Amino acid sequence: MTHGSEPTFGIDTPGKIIAVHLNYPSRINQRGRTPEFPSYFFKPASSLAPTGGTVERPAGTELLAFEGEIALVIGEEARWVSPEDGWDYVSQVTAANDLGLYDLRAADKGSNVRNKGGDGFTPIGPATIPTEGIGEGDWRVRTWVNGELVQEDTSDTLKFPFGQLVADLSQHMTLEPGDVILTGTPAGSSVVLPGDVIEVEVDAPNVEGAPTTGRLVTTVTQGETEFGDYGNTPTLSEAQQVEAWGSEQDLAAARAAGHATDLATEAADAAAAGTAAATAGPLTDEIREQLAGVAVATVSAALRKRGYTEIFIDGVYPNHEGDAILGTAKTLRFIPFRPDLFKEHAGGFNAQKRAFDTVNPGEILVVEARGVPSTGTVGDVLALRAQVRGAAGVVTDGGVRDFAAVQQFDIPVFSQGAHPSVLGRRHVPWETDVTIACGGAAVQPGDIIMGDRDGVIVIPPFLLAEVAAEAAAQEVEDGWVADRVAEGHAVDGLFPMNAEWRARYNAELASGTAASTETGRA
């Protein structure tokens, strides 16, 4: 391989660098999801770097993580080969470090173009080992950070052996001499900081002569150039932080040492400053004040005038009589139960846990459960977690488990009612922060959710200001009309108001005496 014009590894620059997502059982258990088949992504040749080089952690990021890996070098053209023969097409093995930037992971949606494709993000070398006489299960990979051993595993444990990877890829494309396959990383991958030194070594310790690649050394430096606003910029989430550091305990230690942002503290600080999610965007303090005491029914009428009739989350009721909610939507989607999908997606830090563990102050967690009341979608622990994080409420078109316990919490929960089942009876937790269908209504992240005893509605953010102003004015008018009915007046001509009643109302409105007195409405 070459990097720039300087020969560094003794083989030509690969035409393709293909990396495997998950392969070692230790890593699979850590992630909590088991793939049925291998999945892949490409890394650009421009990401290659030699041993003894540096990798830059870009300005404005904090989640640069290492992944020590065994790299396979294809020796002859492979197309439609069998798993039994796949290993024969590998001529050399070397060490690689599949570096990635979790701060850009969400932007890539699985492609890994930005978070794994940066310059210097694929150190490889320093030497290659010919595979002749060495089996595909004879290899070991080890990684050190600042001299401490943090990863160690062997290729005989892999879920997808090397020969299977070659065979599978050769079904879809021609593997050419010099192509490189990164075969996955074991457990132990974590975040590195500027100044840290990472070393990766691949060897065959039980083979005569114990051949080794030597240690692939990379030093982390701090970048100074910020990402521009003409593309996706780095973002942090609790879920990404946990995955990058390796565990909640490791993240907690990193926060205590000042190496990781405490998002909960940041959110609390933002809330105290009046800029948290509760007041961010179109849902300002002024609009909240306008909508205080305004009925959901009144707002729905204003939306209907603008052609929005399918904005009702049907069939849901509050767990406390008199509850009202107003906030921005954070979404969670369940799909129908299927054993293989549940096994792959329901373990570990799954989508359901991620949603409740990352909901922000002022947000309302909206859950698509496909209108199935016969299973629980929220329980006491998750409802409590949402309350502790400052969520403004939970809305699910499914059932609630531990209903009596959830009723004891302050957080409003709107649902179809109680059901004792646990996760896995009807649903698979699938994804968060996407457009969903809840109770017959389309809900997008950032939509405004408003609910009371009449039900829950969805307000498109761009309509909020005008709808709030109209609904607040209408609420005053309706209260005035109700007072006249309470005085004994007939509804004919009053509801809706004819010209005479309208003139009287406008006069009282102008004089400031139109506010409701007898019904308590404002």
Q: What is the CATH number of the domain that holds 336?
A: 3.50.30.40
Asked whether residue 231 is domain-assigned, the answer is yes
Asked whether residue 82 is domain-assigned, the answer is yes
Do both 398 and 499 map to the same domain? no
Q: Cβ distance 62 to 103 under 8 Å?
A: yes
Q: Cβ distance 378 to 396 under 8 Å?
A: yes
- Burial of 153 (C-beta count, 10 Å sphere; 0-12/13-18/19+): buried
Do both 475 and 454 map to the same domain? no
Our count of domains for the chain comes to: 3
- Using CA atoms, how far residue 32 sits from 28, 100, 147, 161, 343, in Å, is 6, 20, 29, 20, 9
Do both 352 and 447 map to the same domain? yes
Domain boundary, last residue among 459, 475, 503? 459
Asked whether residue 228 is domain-assigned, the answer is yes
Do both 79 and 26 map to the same domain? yes
Do both 155 and 57 map to the same domain? yes
Please list, residue by residue across 362-394, b when 16 or more beta carbons sit within 10 angstroms of its beta carbon and e when fewer do. bbbbbbbbbbbbebbbbbbebbbbbbebbbbbb
Asked whether residue 86 is domain-assigned, the answer is yes
Asked whether residue 355 is domain-assigned, the answer is yes
Asked whether residue 302 is domain-assigned, the answer is no
Least Cα distance to 235 among 337, 102, 339, 141 occurs for 102
Please list, residue by residue across 235-250, b when 16 or more beta carbons sit within 10 angstroms of its beta carbon and e when fewer do. ebbbbbbbbbbbeeeb
Do both 423 and 379 map to the same domain? yes
Please tell me the distance from the alpha carbon of residue 150 to that of residue 189, in angstroms, as a whole number.
8
Report the CATH number at residue 225.
Answer: 3.90.850.10
Please tell me the distance from the alpha carbon of residue 302 to that of residue 312, in angstroms, as a whole number.
13
Residue tagged 């303090």 (tokens) = 285
Do both 199 and 331 map to the same domain? no
**Length of the chain counted residue by residue:** 522
Mean pLDDT by 10 residues, the chain (522 residues): 36 87 92 90 94 92 96 97 97 97 85 92 96 96 96 96 97 96 96 95 95 96 90 88 90 88 72 46 88 92 93 93 93 93 85 91 95 90 92 95 92 93 84 94 95 94 92 88 90 87 85 56 40
Asked whether residue 439 is domain-assigned, the answer is yes
Do both 429 and 479 map to the same domain? no
The whole domain housing 80 covers: 2-256
Do both 250 and 157 map to the same domain? yes
Do both 79 and 200 map to the same domain? yes
Do both 103 and 57 map to the same domain? yes
For 407-460, the pLDDT digits (tens) are 999 999 999 999 998 777 889 999 999 999 999 999 999 999 999 999 999 999
Please tell me the distance from the alpha carbon of residue 237 to that of residue 501, in angstroms, as a whole number.
55
Asked whether residue 300 is domain-assigned, the answer is no
Do both 338 and 202 map to the same domain? no
Q: Identity (one letter) of the amino acid at 252? A: A
Report H helices in 389-512: 403-407, 464-486, 499-511
